[in-house]
Structure 1
Amino acid sequence: MSATSPVGGDRYTVISADCHAGADLLDYRPYLESRYHDAFDVWAATYVNPYEDLVADAADQNWNSERRLAELEQDGIVAEVVFPNTIPPFFPSGSLMAPAPGAEDFEHRWAGLRAHNRWLADFCASAPGRRAGVFQILLNDVAAAVKEIRWAAGQPGLKGGLLLPGTPPGSGLPELYSSAYDPIWAVCEELGVVVNHHAGSASPPLGSEPAARAVFMVETTWFSHRALWHLVFGGAFRRHPGLRLVLTEQGSGWIPGVLDMLDYYHGRLLAAATQASTAESKFGAGLAASMGKGPSEVWHDNCFVGASFMRPHEVPLRDRIGLDKIMWGSDYPHDEGTYPYTREGLRIAYAGLPRDEVAAMVGGNAARVYGFDLDLLDPIAAKVGPTVEEVAEPLEEVPKDATSPVFAKGGSVRVW
């Protein structure tokens, strides 16, 4: 069956392009190199988890393989791309949200991420073909990152690819457009490793005042979007035309407008660079040679969006985003995810759309990008997947205890 249209009989084959998992804290210890065990014991003895959901009864959704498979199947999902969630060794918080490490704690944090990667490889291997683990690196040591990428590419459970950290203001790291990261792009292109950039990993610290939380919510996706224009203007895709970038849990409705803006600046700077010396011509100097194709072309050829619980007002933009670019995600097990109302979430977004378009967005594109085997997944979907008829029916009433923003008032307004 074609990887662009996963429909098992009268049901959709749903692959979540955005789920999260991680080990319970002490279960990371066997995956650490033994020379870090004493330091881990000291750290773990005093560590206080800052996240209520990671100490609640539902915390084992992150590592209980059987529970996870059962709940996802109950929700109509047959496979998942697995981003991190719990606290790796030596981190102050979840690795998506932790600031870039300084020189004094880089060694221990790097050991902690390698432990997570090895745990994740085993966790995904425990459900063959059902999970694509996204492994982690740090950018402080590019050579070490390249070595980890080569190791991870050989692990069947880690076919979700690389999680690219952000370089927020104040991190002390070179910006993502820097050629310092070329060895990373080169090895990912060589080995066919997808580069993922998830929301939350690029925001600078904002402090603890009440307003900081609101500002974080407003700005966090924007800071994540920056990876797109950094890599485009930095020429990463010109030097490595086989590189693939996925932007996950950052929304999708912003993409057409941002591409228009980037195309505008690209054209404006290229034109200015051909003129006599002016203040603006200096901004475009060297851009054409270093960058190559325009931003919209790069998006078309190299980029995808992990459109977690795609909102109805974003759906009319699907052709401008690219039907072959959109990969729906449930964000399980997060409170803002669609579980246990994924069927309702699909209905509120996709009711009335052509069957082949829905099939591509809810699973076919993810199967193609992450290498899921639909011959394995379609028979499972034929038993547990949402029916085509069900998803086609508009949702009249939102479940009262639903917590996903896809159901939020105003978040489900469809603009045609």
Structure 2
Amino acid sequence: MDISLDWLVSVDDHVLEPPHVWQDRLPAKFRDAGPRMVTDDKGEAWVFEGKRMPTTGLSAAAGKKREEFSPLPVTYADMRPGCYDPAARVEDMNRAGVLASLSFPSFPRFCGQAFTEADDRELGLACVRAYNDWMIDEWCGTAPGRLIPMIILPLWDATLAAAEIERTAAKGARAIAFSENPYPLGLPSIHDPSGFWEPMIAASVDANMPICMHLGSSSQLPSTSPDMPMAAIIALTPVASTAAACIDWLFSPWLPKYPDLKLCLSEGGIGWIPYVLERCDHVVEVHRGWASKGDFAGDLTVGAVGDRGELGGLAVDMLPSELFRRHMYGCFIEDPFGVGALDQIGVDNVMIETDYPHTDSTWPNSIEVAHKQLAGLPDDVKRKILQTNAARVFGLELPEPPATRQ
């Protein structure tokens, strides 16, 4: 089915979980300890394991002017209903020309790490499962095909994570939220010598579910110094964090071992990709000869998972740029420079986002902004970036668009 180019699929939006999620779905023995919304003399906030966490206005900026953006706490009564209500979200999608939307979590943070940090791991696992059931059954169940189910994982145990992928795949889950760098979360890196993450990676491949790594999902912002201005940190993050995640996986053993593994670099932009691929290819071409002989000071394969081969496990018969095009997908909101470099990136490796309801969002003019960026490109390329790349990567059957935009 050819869908009008007046519609796009957004592979990175956000949901602010309504207050009932865990109180309605946790087993009775965990309900009192589970996340709940409180209103007191300090205002409105989530409370979990003794921690009080208000919602920042930067996470619920839809409908506000830029000069109204604020990092101060905001209540649900002050938010646009599309932030937390699925029916209202679909109405806002219709207004912006968004046919389907994939949303990352908010209270659990971008890869659900709030539950990995829980003191009670049994409670943490119950919270992960409750969130996933809500995401699939209620949030996405309200508008099947329009809202794409993404799950979180019990990151502290890759075998449990694999089991949760299998469980939720049977319920219709289409994507996995993972960290751009699990090491700062106190977890093994993807280069862990024991192969800690392999059960999770193998399960994602078996379920045909992409692993989506959102900017900032390491719970660590890059900076050059403690007094680096926040505006500078925001500018630095896609280059320092998303590009680092890309390189990390390119030099890991997992891409050669799992040819069907799919990785999405969510909200990281795409303009940096051509240089990173060029640099990685150059490193391999220049250094693999001496590295393969082992005649160097220091072991480039420290932390290796099994037999890494040349240069830390990179498949010697495939350059990083080739691995990227087989496995990775750059995701952008507004990136004219990157759009101009599609030939170097690969038109099959790029998807678009709207970032609703965050401050970088293009809502309510998402489709208009997208077409402004893609102006001059052939319709078949526009269609890939707006719709069919996402449909292929996430295994979607795109729904019939509404008769009219609201």
Q: 1:299 to 1:167 in 2, by over 3 A?
A: closer
Superposition map of 1:76-155 within 5 A: 76-85=97-106, 87-88=107-108, 94-96=109-111, 101-102=116-117, 104-122=119-137, 123-155=139-171
User: Could you tell me which amino acid in structure 2 is paired with residue 270 of structure 1?
Assistant: R
Secondary structure of residue in 2 paired with 1:291: coil
Check conservation: 1:272, 1:284, Cα contact below 8 A.
no
Is the counterpart of residue 254 in structure 1 residue 276 in structure 2?
no
Shift of the alpha carbon at 1:7?
Answer: 3.7
Structure 1 partner of 2:361? 337
Listed as ranges, the matches of 1:51-66 within 5 Å are 51-52=56-57, 53=60, 55-56=75-76, 57-66=78-87
SS of the aligned residue for 2:33 comes to helix
Distance in 2, matches of 1:128 and 1:30, equals 21
Residue correspondence of structure 1 range 13-412 to structure 2 within 5 A? 13-40=7-34, 47-52=52-57, 53=60, 55-56=75-76, 57-85=78-106, 87-88=107-108, 94-96=109-111, 101-102=116-117, 104-122=119-137, 123-156=139-172, 158-159=173-174, 161-167=175-181, 170-178=184-192, 179-204=195-220, 211=228, 213-221=230-238, 222-275=240-293, 277-279=295-297, 282-283=299-300, 286-288=308-310, 290-292=313-315, 293-307=318-332, 309-374=333-398, 376-377=399-400, 379-380=401-402, 383-384=404-405
Q: 1:55 to 1:154 in 2, by over 3 A?
A: same
Between the aligned partners of 1:79 and 1:266, the Cα distance in structure 2 is: 39
RMSD: 2.9
1:221-264 CA deviation, whole Å, 9 max, x = no partner? 22233332222222101111111111110010111111111112
TM-aligned CA deviation for residue 302 of structure 1: 1.3
* Cα distance change, pair 73–215 in 1 and its aligned pair in 2 (3 A): same
Contact 1:96 1:201 in 2 (8 A): yes
Paired position in structure 2 for 1:410: none
How far apart are 1:33 and its partner, in Å? 2.4
Alpha carbons of structure 1 residues 279 and 299: separation in structure 2 relative to 1, 3 Å:
same
| Alignment: residue pair count | 366
Match of 1:412 in 2: none
Q: Which amino acid aligns with 2:336?
A: P
CA deviations over 1:36-69 (Å, ceiling 9, x no partner):
1121378857534141335252253232122111
Q: What's the TM-score, normalizing by structure 1?
A: 0.79
For residues 192-233 of structure 1, give each alpha carbon's deviation from its aligned partner in whole angstroms, at most 9, with x where no partner exists: 111111111024267997636245314432223333222222
1-side partners of 2:367 and 2:103: how far apart? 20
Question: 1:178-205: per-residue Cα shift (whole Å, max 9, x none)?
Answer: 2211111111111211111111102426
Q: Which residue of 1 aligns with 2:42?
A: none
Q: Is the 8 A contact 2:281 2:319 kept in 1?
A: yes
How many Å separate the matches in 2 of 1:42 and 1:322?
A: 44
362-371 or 200-209, larger mean C-alpha shift:
200-209
**Is the alpha carbon distance of 1:30 and 1:173 closer, same or farther for their aligned partners in structure 2, counting shifts above 3 Å?**
same
RCO greater where, 1 or 2, for CA within 8 Å and sep 6 or more? 1
Match of 2:6 in 1: 12
* Gap regions ≥5 residues in structure 1: 89-93, 386-416
> Percent identity at matched positions?
26
Note the residue ranges of structure 2 that are not aligned, 5 or more in a row: 40-46, 61-73, 303-307
* Structure richer in helix, relative to its length: 1
User: Are the equivalent residues in 2 in contact too, given 1:100–1:171 (CA < 8 A)?
Assistant: no
Letter in 2 for 1:62: C
1:78 alignment partner, SS class: strand
Matched residues in 2 for 1:260 and 1:25: separation? 47
- Paired residues of 1:167 and 1:173 also in contact (CA < 8 A): no
Measured after TM superposition, the shift of residue 139 of structure 1 is 2.2
Change (3 A) 1:270 1:340: same
